[in-house]
Amino acid sequence: MKTLFLLLLSVVVVFGGQTMNLYDIEVKTIDGKTITLDKYKGNVLLIVNVASECGFTKQYKGLQSLHVEYEKDGLSVLGFPCNQFLSQEPGTEEDIKNFCMSNFGVSFDMFSKIDVNGEKTHPLYKYLKEKSDGFITDTIKWNFTKFLVKRNGEVFKRYSPSTSPEEIEDDIKQLLK
């Protein structure tokens, strides 16, 4: 059923004259500047919905380590705060930025809060969910769900919130080759 829907959607999109491309998606930086993901074209992307008051928040440390280790090789870690799971990201963008910097030294790119599920799902997460399979359903189940994207913009793999950044390192190294 999902395959038929995606096929029909592809036909509609193609005949509409537009194809959805990861790099055309607009996002807002944590400082409020609107950019397209074209900025990251050619990089391996690790895209994560993050939250400051979650049991997985300590994963910021591992994400920062991956950023420091592999940025020079073409890895871009992108953090998208989300407040949809038990309101675990209640602060303002400034609060989030300060929390991440002071507690984890985060220097990878962070963005404004977004919705990853529901009626107001951000186009990036619509794209990521469409291009990868979730466990049982395609909805994002919790904070720190991770998507690894190849240099060409193709989603390589989706990882559960309980998968630590360190467990993804081998896949990252493979894609950076």
- Catalytic residue annotation: 54
Contact between 44 and 74 under an 8 Å Cβ cutoff? The reply is yes
Q: What are the φ/ψ torsions at residue 42 (nearest 5 degrees)?
A: 90, -10
> Which token pair is 170?
């081998």
Which residues have CB under 8 Å from 121's CB, separation 6+? 115, 129
SS3 assignment, position 61: helix
Contact between 77 and 48 under an 8 Å Cβ cutoff? The reply is yes
